[in-house]
Amino acid sequence: MSRTRTRGRRPGSPDTRALILDAARERFAAGGFAGTTVRAVAAHAGVDPALVHHYFGSKDELFVASLALPIDPRAVLAERLAALPAEAGSESPGARLLQAILSVWDDPALQAGLVAAVRRFLEPGGETLVRAGFVPVVLVPLGELLGVQEPAVRMPLVATQVFGLLIGRYLVALEPVASMPAEEVVATFAPVLDRCLLGELPSRSAT
């Protein structure tokens, strides 16, 4: 830790927000979402917990802010899902999910920031952010929004497929995935995602 910290608690100051975000990133990466309290982040930043609540509201908001995404995926994906024409993939949650995700990722103003976020997730330590943060805070609620059964099991399954697709299309620029128009990506991969979202799951090993 190269940053110097005061021992006492700091009052609000222009860089207090950034200081709290740095502390949140370190604590969430080390302890995951459930294992990190707002109080621990405040202590790590050397500020009063009330100041964390003042700047960020809940622990969920603090976590999403600490990911430094160019958008709040919860709000934007909910909005894009709601904006899809009623007939679009009405029987395919995979198609609806992909259309919403691609409408964000294909936006040139957002793409570089999203790619940077995926790279952070893939750095050593980033796996805790995915596993213990992104999944419960973003992914499972998104599954509930899509009306998926057993979202805590199915959304991580579908996440591996979407994650692979995003890496292939945007990070690696793998053809033919990189140059396909969005509607062709949806046509190709929606049935694949639906298999994870709607299909039979292998029965769990008997006790």
Q: Where are the alpha helices (DSSP H) in the chain?
A: 16-31, 38-45, 49-56, 59-66, 73-83, 93-105, 108-122, 126-129, 140-146, 151-166, 182-198
Among 78, 110, 192, 198, binds a second copy (CB under 8 A): 192
The CA distance from 62 to 145, in Å, is 22
Shortest approach of a second copy to residue 133 CB, angstroms?
12
The smaller minimum CB distance to a second copy, of residues 2 and 205, is found at: 205
Q: Residue 120, interface with a second copy (CB under 8 A)? A: no
Residue with tokens 């600490």: 66
The encoded tokens of residue 138 equal 């973003």
Site residues for a second copy, 153-172, by CB under 8 A, read: 153, 156-157, 159-165, 167-169, 171-172
The smaller minimum CB distance to a second copy, of residues 43 and 118, is found at: 118
Among 4, 202, 206, 207, binds a second copy (CB under 8 A): 202
Q: Residue 114, interface with a second copy (CB under 8 A)? A: no
Sequence-distant (≥ 6) Cβ neighbours of residue 6 within 8 angstroms = 46
Residues comprising the chain, all counted:
207
Shortest approach of a second copy to residue 122 CB, angstroms?
6
Q: Residue 127, interface with a second copy (CB under 8 A)? A: yes
The CA distance from 94 to 100, in Å, is 10
**Does residue 22 come out as left (phi exceeding 0), alpha (psi in the -120 to 50 range) or beta?**
alpha
Q: Residue 135, interface with a second copy (CB under 8 A)? A: yes
Residues that bind a second copy (CB under 8 A): 119, 121-122, 126-127, 130-131, 135, 153, 156-157, 159-165, 167-169, 171-177, 181, 184, 187-188, 191-192, 195-196, 199, 201-202, 205
